[in-house]
Amino acid sequence: MNRIDQKFQEDKKLLSIYFSAGHPNLEDTVPILKNLQAAGVDMVEIGLPFSDPLADGPTIQESSTKALQNGMTTDKLFAQLENIREEISIPLVLMGYFNPMMQYGIEKFCQRCETIGIDGLIIPDLPVDVYHEQYKKLFDQHGLYNMFLITPQTPEKRIRYIDDVSNGFIYMVSSASVTGAKNTFGTTQTSYFERIAAMQLTTPTVVGFGISNAETYTAATTHSRGAIIGSAFIKFLEEKGVAHIEEFIRSIRA
């Protein structure tokens, strides 16, 4: 069974953390993963840096740029993760844009993921119908889940289609904007969370974008199975460093 499925069988609200591989420092990837697992995080999304990350806000864009300047590449990330399953047992998801994966070679990319023990991918610019028609069989062969994003503007028919095609979870973008931390959610977001919950989808939902503290984490998980924090965690890393990760996680689950 895929580790993502195993995690969703647990009777709890899940916390997933996103960070850009190679940031703040090139060799921080594995230490960050170790500290996140030790702090009790349920799942980690490792960002594959890209020069033109259109869906990301300034914090993640800057971290991606810094990672590239540090020398992060797809091959470098795979080398860092080569023996990661000797130490890390929680689900690991690679999040990135399709262009670098195509340049690497999709089949080769999937093979490396399988060998290392990556559980799934999030590719914001890969449309669900293109994935379904052209790539799902390949991903399935290598035991890789592919998670899709929905927004408040996504039509119900497309959400139902994504639910049919999806494995793992559906990434529920909290608002129609780029990534970035917020201090609270308004009635618009709450109504959206309630509307999706009422659809009773087969695939669990996890909320991302705008989650930065215990208040937004609680609001996001009231109507979903979990939440993803990226920008706020990256800012924390820049300010306090890898050694203090447990402090950040504790503040979210306070």
Given pLDDT bands bounded at 50, 70 and 90, which one contains residue 53? Answer: low
56: annotated active-site residue: yes
Residue 1 domain flag: no
Residue 217 lies inside a defined structural domain of this protein: yes
Categorize the per-residue pLDDT at 180 as very low, low, confident or very high, splitting at 50, 70 and 90.
very low
Q: How many DSSP H helices and E strands does the chain contain?
A: 13, 9
* Residue 179 pLDDT greater than 50, yes or no: no
For residues 118 and 147, is the Cβ–Cβ distance under 8 A?
no
> How many angstroms separate the first and last alpha carbons of the chain?
31
- Mean pLDDT score across all residues of the chain: 92
Q: Is residue 2 part of a domain?
A: no
pLDDT of residue 62: 85
d(CA 200, CA 193): 12
Burial of 48 (0-12, 13-18, 19+ CB in 10 A): buried
Q: Which position among 5, 28, 42, 45 bears the catalytic label?
A: 45
Tell me how far apart the alpha carbons of residues 28 and 242 are, in angstroms, rounded to a whole number: 8
Q: How far is 192 from 132, CA to CA, in rounded Å?
A: 26
Instruction: Identify the weakest region by mean pLDDT among 104-118, 121-135, 168-182.
Output: 168-182
Is the pLDDT reported for residue 149 higher than 90?
A: yes
Q: In this structure, is residue 5 part of a structural domain?
A: no
Per-residue pLDDT, averaged over 244-253, amounts to: 96
CA distance 28 to 236: 14
Percentage of the chain lying above the pLDDT 70 cut: 94
Residue 62 counted as domain residue = yes
pLDDT (mean) for 234-254: 95
Tokens of 188: 């618009």
pLDDT level of residue 55 (50, 70, 90 thresholds): low
Is 194 contained in some domain? yes
CATH code of residue 165: 3.20.20.70
**pLDDT band at residue 52 under the 50/70/90 scheme:** low
The count of structural domains within the chain is 1
Q: What is the tens place of the pLDDT at every residue in 4-28?
A: 999 999 999 999 999 999 999 999 9
Task: Write out the two tokens for 200.
Answer: 């009773």
Give every strand in the sheet of 120-122, ordered side by side. Answer: 145-147, 120-122, 92-95, 43-47, 14-20, 226-229, 205-208, 170-173, 149-150
Residue 114 domain-assigned (yes or no): yes
Query: Using one digit for the tens of pLDDT, what is the confidence trace for 22-44?
Result: 999 999 999 999 999 999 999 99
Residue 44 Cα distances to 105, 134, 185, 198, angstroms = 24, 27, 23, 27
The residue-averaged pLDDT of 201-211 equals: 95
Confidence of residue 188 (pLDDT cuts 50, 70, 90): confident
Q: How much is the average pLDDT of 44-50?
A: 92
pLDDT classification of 178: cutoffs 50, 70, 90: very low
Q: What is the dihedral of CA 154, 157, 162, 163, to 10 degrees?
A: 120
| pLDDT of amino acid 72 | 94
Gyration radius from the chain CA atoms: 17
Q: Are 245 and 36 in contact (CB under 8 A)?
A: yes
Average pLDDT over residues 152-158: 96
Q: Which residue, 39, 124, 119, 130, is CA-closest to 84?
A: 119
User: What confidence score (pLDDT) does residue 181 get?
Assistant: 47
User: How many residues belong to the chain?
Assistant: 254
- β-partners of residue 206 are 171, 226
pLDDT mean over 49-53: 71
Kindly state whether residue 8 falls inside one of the protein's structural domains.
no
| Residue 189 burial (CB count, 10 A) | 20
Domain ranges, residue 133 = 15-252
Residue 58 predicted with pLDDT over 60: yes
Catalytic residue among 5, 10, 42, 56: 56
Closest among 8, 55, 22, 1 to 176, alpha carbons compared: 55
